[in-house]
Structure 1
């Protein structure tokens, strides 16, 4: 998703301008791995819009394989705005605009699990599980025990603002199905 970071500290209501960047737990991990010299691929859905263009181009510029990123002509690319973190209190505002986004339409039918590139590790995030019932079904499919499944790396990445109901049980179940779990 596209991230808008403030040009200076302050409440979202008071920040005069924002700088555009790339965001998203999975794409950030892929970019960091590629920058460190590892092969990495990012599988997602973005809108057929300028923000989607920006994301695919920016992530690919890190050396990440983006060939499995799909463009959704009917749904926009997700975005979010955040304030600068107050280092003393770690207080910041976040405004997510991801409901109805292209990524929220990921499902086992739009991201076929057997069509993913063979890799040693598949990194997933609890944020994806929060986007929609279809996204949660996709994560259940990807984490299901099966022969030849890669190691599953799961970042709980709990974001209360994205959940519309029970999150603890869902995230715990996904964490138990993973081989490596990050809690943050």
Structure 2
């Protein structure tokens, strides 16, 4: 991506120059291949799954220097995870190997009502991460630190890590912090998620949240502007409304970009892809509209594959999409998936 601004651009605040560091757990993942209920599946496919490493891999695809910081078990699954993330061009040299704790595992069970995910991550290597991780070398030189609401749900030490990363007001830290709310209800059985995630999100510089998860956390009648009222402090707040649109609230104004129609194979990973695309656009100075469009384009790459990480369009195609007029983009958003 060249960084050219899309039509109707506004230019919000953006992080300074420097690498991005994504912090969080990545697990090995098993899923029926082809997709089918696990009970009747004859073959399973092994891949990797992690919100933060998904973002890192898509950022690398966009040519953004990025490191992933985490911990893995000294086991075959951990070796597979490390190699897979590294193969996408992400710096994994600071990922810890824990000889005493295993790599986490998830198993997908597709069904008529959607895909259920079963987690085996208790006492995993990444769950032992703590605030000391922020003293590691890649964080000290980072322009942007990317975190999600999954990490503080894993353990007390992981929550302390995120809390320390968000110490201080937006703009007062040596790096900017991007925070994807990424609410996983199964990880918050004690009912404290609305309070904890709300407080953490409001301390970040850049926040991503789905309208549906915001409604589940803070009120079923919330609109995108009401989410902004609930989270007034982030310099950039992106509220994603699924297949409809995404809205960015910034110091330069509010911009909404409709979601282009695409064929959906599996929705898992699309939110991470969107975040990576938006961050890549923001870091490249594409403006709010361009960043939102690049988020949608990147999300479509995840929607069209069964795994979390799909190939980006050809760069020339991406540039052409970013250069569309507002009317042309709207036509693409209202077209049928096969158009």
What is the TM-score normalised by the length of structure 1? 0.90
The question of 1:35 aligning with 2:61 is answered: yes
Deviations 1:130-153 (A, max 9, x none): 111110000001111275421111
**Structure 1 counterpart of 2:135:** 113
114 and 66 in structure 1: CA distance in 2 versus 1, 3 angstrom threshold:
closer
Listed as ranges, the matches of 1:92-107 within 5 Å are: 92-107=115-130
Secondary structure at the residue paired with 1:178?
coil
CA apart distance, 1:117: 4.4
Please, which runs of 5 or more residues in structure 2 have no aligned partner? 1-26, 211-339
Question: Does the 8 A contact of 1:12 with 1:93 survive in 2?
Answer: no
**Structure 2 counterpart of 1:21:** 47
CA apart distance, 1:5: 2.1
Please, which runs of 5 or more residues in structure 1 have no aligned partner? none
Question: Does the 8 A contact of 2:61 with 2:88 survive in 1?
Answer: yes
Secondary structure at the residue paired with 1:42?
strand
Secondary structure at the residue paired with 1:64?
coil
Deviations 1:112-139 (A, max 9, x none): 3364241221110111111111100000
State the alpha-carbon separation in 1 of the partners of residues 208 and 141 from structure 2. 22
CA apart distance, 1:36: 1.3
Question: Does the 8 A contact of 2:134 with 2:165 survive in 1?
Answer: no
CA apart distance, 1:174: 1.0
The question of 1:62 aligning with 2:62 is answered: no
Q: Which has the higher contact order (CA 8 A, sep 6+)?
A: 2
Paired positions, count: 180
What is the TM-score normalised by the length of structure 2? 0.50
State the alpha-carbon separation in 2 of the partners of residues 62 and 85 from structure 1. 30
CA apart distance, 1:178: 0.8
Structure ranking higher in helix proportion:
2
Question: Does the 8 A contact of 1:113 with 1:141 survive in 2?
Answer: no
The question of 1:127 aligning with 2:150 is answered: yes
